[in-house]
Structure 1
Amino acid sequence: MSDDILSYLPAMRAFARSLCGNATDADDLVQETLVRAIENISSYTPGTNLRAWLFTIMRNRFYSNCIKQKRERTGDEDCASQQPTVSAQQEWQVRIRELEKALEELPVHYREAIVLVVVLEESYARAAEILECDIGTIKSRINRGRRMLRAAMGEEI
C-alpha cells in the first residue's frame, strides 16, 4: 500500500496546490493528509479507491484549516516574502499566471472539479466520489468552469 501512496504524491501535491494557492501551504496540506491517513488507516477498506480516500481526507483537512484560519489571523497574507520579487518576462509565463489567477477566482466547487478532472485527469466518476456529488453535477461544473476560465482569459466563448 505504501507504494500506492507514493505514486499518488504528485497528484496530491497538484490538488493541494489548487486548494491552497501556494506551494508551501500545499506541501503542509499533503503532509497533514498523510498523517491523517496513517492515523485513520483502520477506517480504509482494502480494495476500495485509495486515491479517492486520500483526496477526500485532503479536501476535508483543507476546509478544517480554512475554518481554523478564519479564527486565527496570522497576517501572512500580506507578508513581503510571499510577493514575487521579479516579474515574468516571457508571454507564456504571464499567461500561466493569468490562468492561475483566473482559476483561483473561480468559485471553489468549479475549481475543485476542474483541477480533479482536467489537471489531475481523474474520471468524472472518481471526481464525483471525491467531491461527494453526482456525475452530472461534475460535468456541469466542468462545463461552467471552463466557460468562466475562457471568459476570464479573454477568449471567445
Structure 2
Amino acid sequence: MTAIEFNHKLQYLIPALEPFAYKLTKDTANAKDLIQETMLKAFSNKEKFMVGTNMKAWVFTIMRNTFLTNYQKNARQKTFIDTSDNLHFINSTSTKQENKAMGQFAMDDIQTAIENLDDTYSEPFMMYFRGFKYHEISDRLNIPIGTVKNRIFLARKELKEVLAVYADRY
C-alpha cells in the first residue's frame, strides 16, 4: 500500500474516531487533540500496519493506547514523593487537613433537627433508624404499615430540608 493510499484510508476514518475520542476525553478540545495525535502516530507507524487486516481496529487501538498513556502520565505528574523518612506517595490534589469540629457541629445539628420533629414522625423514624422493620414498627405503634412508611418518608423529607446546609459536605 502506498503512502497516498494509506493516508486516504486514514483520513476516511476520522469521522468514526470523533465519538470515541469524545467518549474517552469528555471534552471537545481534548478529543480533537487525541485524534490529531492518533493520526500522527498511525501515519508515522504505517510500516507496522499489515495490509489485509482491519485498519479501523488498528487505529482505534492506537487511540485507546494513546489516551491511556497520556492519562497515566498526567496522573504521575499530579503525584509527588514525600522525601521524609516515611517515603510516602501522596496525591497532591486531594490532601486536606480537617479536625473533628465540623463533624461535631453536624452531629449536634442532626440531633437538634430530630428532637424538633413532631413525635408522630420522630418515633417511627427513630425505630426504623435503630433497625426495626416496617411491620415491627406497625405492630408496636398499632398503626397501619402504610402510615409507618408515610411518617418515615415525611420525617426524612423534613430532616433533609432542615439539614440542607450539609448536603455538599457529606
Q: TM-score, normalised by structure 1?
A: 0.45
- Greater Cα radius of gyration, structure 1 or 2: 2
Higher RCO, Cα 8 Å, sep 6+: 1
TM-score, scaled to structure 2: 0.41
